[in-house]
Structure 1
Amino acid sequence: MDALSAREASDMTLTPALFGALTLAAAALAAGLCGGVLLYRYARMQRSARTLDHALKGRGPSAPDSAPLRPGPLAAIGRACTAWLDTPLGRVAVASEERRLLERCGYLDAAARGRFLAARIAGAVAAPLALIVCAHGAAHGVRFMLWLFIAFSVGFMAPKWFVRRRAQGRQRAVDAELPMFVDLLRLLQGVGLSLDQSLQVMISDFRNVLPVLSMELALAQGQFATGRTREQSMKRLSSTYENEDLAAIVRLVVQVERHGGAVQEPLKQFGDRLREARRTVLRERIGRLTVKMTGVMVVTLLPALLIITAGPGFIAVVRALSVLHR
């Protein structure tokens, strides 16, 4: 009986191969469930779209024939994730902070947030699977479970890190483009163009000079053309990038649109203040760089300087001591 129980206990031992097989089976089951849910959501959306299309065709004149859109699996996954944005999972995976970062990156529609959610789910599933495949034969123990948790966290957070880096780059671009934007607006207002004409010229002709602000101005102009007020259309531009100078310029533009008046002198003063602030920032950077270079010079130049200045004396002392020793 003791031998039989020992054999049963050895058969029930969780070996690395058995653990890896169970993990892969669980991952495959989870992927199958997610795929089934996505296909079900996609089928429901397609059925709703066909019903709406049929109703619109029945009420209005027939549209010209066009080739039906046949989206692929990636489009289906993106649409399903877009439908998940209002669920508890979607609100946790794409919280308000992530939505602000996406807006700062220029991703404004719900499809972009759906793709972000899909990227987070894919990263959270792919990173642990890659770790399991790479660690074949050593998939056991508490340490491996810790590595699995780290891989899951990295895969889940990687899309947010990418979006945050892009948002920071656009924030720096807005800070760099703002003085040029003020000078161009003052110049175009000075030659007699209206506010709409000035903004349109900057959007169409100065896209290479103002890549980020021209896109934001194009979005604001599109909203203004659809019936929104100037304040409503420029609200996103003043609040998204958290730049006080940009918010002040937007307030000035709104006041000019509402009350009229000459803006050349206020814009000139504002541009001078921006340039002075930039000079101050550059002086601070140069000061910090000087302090950093002091350490580099001590590490790199001081040994060479000591060798050049004190080397001959040290060699002479060594030679004198060697002569005395003889």
Structure 2
Amino acid sequence: MPSPLFFLCIVVMLAGLVFAAKGVRLSLADRRLEARLSAIAPSATPGGERFALPGFIAARGRDRSELESRLQLAGFRDPRALQLFVGLRIAATAGSALLVMLLCRVAWGGWLARPLLIVIGAGLVYVGMKQALYMLASARSRRVTAEFPFLIDLMLMMLESGVSLDQCFRSIARDEQVAVPEHGPLIGLLIADLDRGMRYELALDRWAARVAISGGKELAALFRQAMFQGVELAPALREFAREFTQRRVARAREAMGGITVRMVVLMILFFMPALFIVLGGPPVIAIFDTLRGAGR
């Protein structure tokens, strides 16, 4: 007679088969839905081909959302920017590993003579690509934030002269892009969206997403309220200009504090050793001379 353990194994096996069948069914349904959506939606790449990385190297979860936000903040608005960055990151990591292996072959006679050095080199490149993206995003964020007060002052000047908000946008996109090199192309894209028939709410939301810094969404909401609810725009814009000016001053103070810290580190690295040698050298020499004389 079979033991109860045998029946338990049979039940677990059958349950596993049922769950596996349901998983296969859901996977097939997901693929069919994805195929239908790709047939309905326009392709992201020229020629109708979709660009996607294999699942085992594609960014996921928190890393994916963080990279997307940084790419958008850095000004990369192409839908394929994330896949291109991840692919470039993987290629640079593999290339650095191959270069270090070649160095090991030339210097120590074996491709894997220094495996720790290969891992360190590839890891530094992998982490450095992300840090480079952060630096690009931070640099663009500083430029856009620094340009916001001038852009708002320019809009205030136009609005107080009797120009409507729509005409203000069009005038900046047409004639003032040299004065606002960061915001001019973004406002030009906003006007292009409006000319294609997009509603103002959606066009302003897309503009705020392209700006991608704190305060852009609030400014877009203020423009919507001014256009559709009759909110007075000039006082609120002055408050926004004051806020962005304060941010610029805060960034300048932060940079000054960083320079002070770097100067202290440089003094510790280069000045203190020389000072120790100058101050401690003669006593140490005297002690050695005394010990040498006592030894004689």
State the TM-score bracket (shorter-chain normalisation).
0.5 to 0.7
**Does 1:171 pair with 2:141?**
yes
Q: What is the distance in 2 between the residues matched to 1:154 and 1:280?
A: 32
Structure 1 vs Structure 2: percent identity of aligned residues?
A: 22
Amino acid at match of 1:83: F
> 1:215 deviation in Å?
2.5
Quickly say closer, same or farther: Cα 1:294–1:186, change in 2 above 3 A.
same
Show the 5 A alignment for 1:56-67: none
Quickly say closer, same or farther: Cα 1:139–1:157, change in 2 above 3 A.
farther
Partner of residue 205, structure 1: 175
Show the 5 A alignment for 1:94-105: 95-105=64-74
Q: Unaligned stretches of 5+ in structure 1? A: 1-51, 53-74, 301-326
Partner of residue 163, structure 2: 193
Q: What is the distance in 1 between the residues matched to 2:124 and 2:256?
A: 36
> 1:187 deviation in Å?
1.0
Amino acid at match of 1:225: D
Partner of residue 200, structure 2: 230
CA contact (8 A) 1:127 1:154 kept: no
Partner of residue 58, structure 2: 90
CA contact (8 A) 1:125 1:155 kept: no
- Cα-to-partner distance string for 1:73-104 (whole Å, 9 max, x where unaligned): xx99xx98x62247342234982222222222
Q: Which stretch of structure 1 is more off in the superposition, 272-281 or 153-162?
A: 272-281
> 1:155 deviation in Å?
3.3
Q: 1:159 aligns with which of 122, 129, 136?
A: 129
Show the 5 A alignment for 1:209-220: 209-220=179-190
SS at match of 2:114: helix
CA contact (8 A) 1:120 1:157 kept: no
Amino acid at match of 1:109: D
> 1:221 deviation in Å?
2.9
Q: What is the distance in 1 between the residues matched to 2:95 and 2:259?
A: 42
Q: What is the distance in 2 between the residues matched to 1:131 and 1:285?
A: 36
- Cα-to-partner distance string for 1:193-240 (whole Å, 9 max, x where unaligned): 221221122223222332222222223333333343333223244456
Amino acid at match of 1:233: A
Q: 1:117 aligns with which of 72, 86, 91?
A: 86
CA contact (8 A) 1:102 1:163 kept: yes
Q: 1:133 aligns with which of 102, 123, 126?
A: 102
Partner of residue 237, structure 2: 267
Amino acid at match of 2:171: V
CA contact (8 A) 2:193 2:203 kept: yes
Partner of residue 255, structure 1: 225
Across the aligned residues of Structure 1 and Structure 2, the Cα RMSD in angstroms comes to 4.0
> 1:130 deviation in Å?
0.8
Q: Unaligned stretches of 5+ in structure 2? A: 1-38, 40-44, 272-296
Q: What is the distance in 2 between the residues matched to 1:164 and 1:135?
A: 31
> 1:116 deviation in Å?
1.9
CA contact (8 A) 2:190 2:204 kept: yes
Q: Which stretch of structure 1 is more off in the superposition, 99-108 or 216-225?
A: 216-225
Q: What is the distance in 2 between the residues matched to 1:295 and 1:274?
A: 32
Quickly say closer, same or farther: Cα 1:86–1:213, change in 2 above 3 A.
farther
